[in-house]
Amino acid sequence: MQKSIKVLIVDDHQMFLDGLSSILVGDEQVEVVGVLTDARAVIDTLKDAPVDVVVTDVSMPHMDGIQLNAELKKRNIQAKVLVLTTHNDPDIIQKLIKGGVDGYLLKNAEKNELLTAIKTVATGGKHFSQEVQKKYTESLFSSATTSSTVQTALSKREKEILHLIVEEFTAQEIAEKLFISQHTVNTHRKNLLSKLGVKNTAGLVKQTILKGLLK
Amino acid sequence: MQKSIKVLIVDDHQMFLDGLSSILVGDEQVEVVGVLTDARAVIDTLKDAPVDVVVTDVSMPHMDGIQLNAELKKRNIQAKVLVLTTHNDPDIIQKLIKGGVDGYLLKNAEKNELLTAIKTVATGGKHFSQEVQKKYTESLFSSATTSSTVQTALSKREKEILHLIVEEFTAQEIAEKLFISQHTVNTHRKNLLSKLGVKNTAGLVKQTILKGLLK
DNA sequence: ACTGAGCTCACTAAAAATAGTGATTCTTTT
DNA sequence: AAAAGAATCACTATTTTTAGTGAGCTCAGT
Distance CA B108, CA B102 (A): 19
Task: List, as ranges, residues 105-144 from A with C-beta within 8 Å of B.
Answer: 112-113, 115-116, 119-120, 123-126, 128, 133
Q: Which pLDDT score, from 0 to 100, does residue A23 have?
A: 78
Q: Which pLDDT score, from 0 to 100, does residue B185 have?
A: 94
Mutate to test the interface with A, among B161, B205, B208 (most CBs of A within 10 A): B205
Distance CA B62, CA A42 (A): 58
Helices vs. strands in chain B: H and E counts, helices first: 10, 6
In the predicted structure, residue A142 carries a pLDDT above the cut 60: no
Q: How many CA atoms lie within 13 A of B18 on its CB side?
A: 3
Q: Which pLDDT score, from 0 to 100, does residue A12 have?
A: 74
What single string gives the DSSP state of each residue in A29-65? TEEEEEEES-GGGHHHHHHHS--SEEEEES--SSS-H
Mean pLDDT over each residue of chain B, to the nearest integer = 74
Q: Is B177 helix (H, G, I), strand (E, B) or coil?
A: helix
Q: How confident is the model at residue A150 (pLDDT cuts 50, 70, 90)?
A: very low
Distance CA B119, CA A103 (A): 26
Distance CA B39, CA A15 (A): 50
Q: How confident is the model at residue A22 (pLDDT cuts 50, 70, 90)?
A: confident
Closest Cα in chain A, distance from residue B24 (Å): 22
* Contact criterion met (CB < 8 Å) for A202 and B167: yes
Q: Which pLDDT score, from 0 to 100, does residue B188 have?
A: 93
Positions on chain C within 7 A of a protein C-beta: 5-11, 15-23
**Which residues in chain A touch residue B198, judged by CB atoms under 8 angstroms apart?**
168
Distance CA A186, CA A171 (A): 7
Nearest nt to the B155 alpha carbon by C1': D6
pLDDT average, residue stretch A144-153: 38
pLDDT average, residue stretch B163-188: 92
Q: In Å, what is the separation between the CA of A156 and the C1' of D29?
A: 18
* Contact criterion met (CB < 8 Å) for B145 and A124: yes
Instruction: Nearest by CB to B138, from A113, A123, A199: name it.
Output: A123
Q: Which residues contact A95 (CB under 8 A, 6 or more apart)?
A: A66
Nearest residue of chain A to residue B139 (CA atoms): A125
**Which residues in chain B touch residue A128, judged by CB atoms under 8 angstroms apart?**
210
Q: How confident is the model at residue A76 (pLDDT cuts 50, 70, 90)?
A: low
In the predicted structure, residue A160 carries a pLDDT above the cut 80: yes
How many CB pairs lie under 8 A apart between chains A and B? 74
In the predicted structure, residue A195 carries a pLDDT above the cut 80: yes
Share of chain A above pLDDT 90, in %: 13
* Contact criterion met (CB < 8 Å) for A202 and B203: no
Positions on chain D within 7 A of a protein C-beta: 5-11, 15-23
pLDDT average, residue stretch B22-50: 80
Nearest nt to the A180 alpha carbon by C1': C8
Q: How confident is the model at residue A26 (pLDDT cuts 50, 70, 90)?
A: confident
Q: Which pLDDT score, from 0 to 100, does residue B112 have?
A: 74
* Contact criterion met (CB < 8 Å) for B209 and A206: yes
Q: Which pLDDT score, from 0 to 100, does residue B143 have?
A: 31
Q: Is A136 helix (H, G, I), strand (E, B) or coil?
A: helix
With 0-12 CB in 10 A as exposed, 13-18 as middle and 19+ as buried, what is B37? middle
Q: What is the DSSP letter of A75?
A: T
Q: Which pLDDT score, from 0 to 100, does residue B186 have?
A: 93
* Contact criterion met (CB < 8 Å) for A199 and B130: no
How do residues A82-96 score in pLDDT, each as one tens digit? Answer: 888 765 565 666 667
Q: In Å, what is the separation between the CA of B129 and the C1' of C30?
A: 30
* Contact criterion met (CB < 8 Å) for B201 and A201: yes
SS3 annotation, A192-214? HHHHHCCCCHHHHHHHHHHHHHC
More confident residue, B62 or B131: B62
Instruction: Nearest by CB to B133, from A1, A116, A199: name it.
Output: A116
Distances (CA, A) of A11 to A19, A42, B183: 11, 11, 54
**Which residues in chain A touch residue B192, judged by CB atoms under 8 angstroms apart?**
none
Q: Which pLDDT score, from 0 to 100, does residue B82 have?
A: 87
Q: Is B105 helix (H, G, I), strand (E, B) or coil?
A: strand
How do residues B117-145 score in pLDDT, each as one tens digit? Answer: 888 788 776 676 655 555 444 443 333 22
How do residues A55-74 score in pLDDT, each as one tens digit? Answer: 888 777 677 777 777 777 76
Q: Which pLDDT score, from 0 to 100, does residue A200 have?
A: 93
Q: In Å, what is the separation between the CA of B95 and the C1' of D2?
A: 21
pLDDT average, residue stretch A16-33: 78
Establish if B148 touches chain A: CB-CB under 8 angstroms.
Answer: no
Among A60-74, A196-210, B158-172, the least confident range? A60-74
The residue among A62, A79, A75 whose CA lies nearest residue A9 is: A79
In the predicted structure, residue A14 carries a pLDDT above the cut 70: no
- The residues pairing with B92 across neighbouring beta strands, listed in sequence order, are none
**Which residues in chain A touch residue B143, judged by CB atoms under 8 angstroms apart?**
124
Q: How confident is the model at residue A206 (pLDDT cuts 50, 70, 90)?
A: confident
The residue among A104, A112, A81, A107 whose CA lies nearest residue A15 is: A107
CB contact at 8 A, B104 and B114: no
**Which residues in chain B touch residue A119, judged by CB atoms under 8 angstroms apart?**
134
Nearest residue of chain B to residue A1 (CA atoms): B149
* Cα dihedral B122, B125, B130, B132 sign: positive
In the predicted structure, residue A165 carries a pLDDT above the cut 60: yes
Q: In Å, what is the separation between the CA of A178 and the C1' of C13?
A: 26
Share of chain B above pLDDT 90, in %: 14
Could you give all domains of chain B from N- to C-terminal order, each with its CATH number? 5-136 (3.40.50.2300), 154-211 (1.10.10.10)
In the predicted structure, residue A175 carries a pLDDT above the cut 60: yes
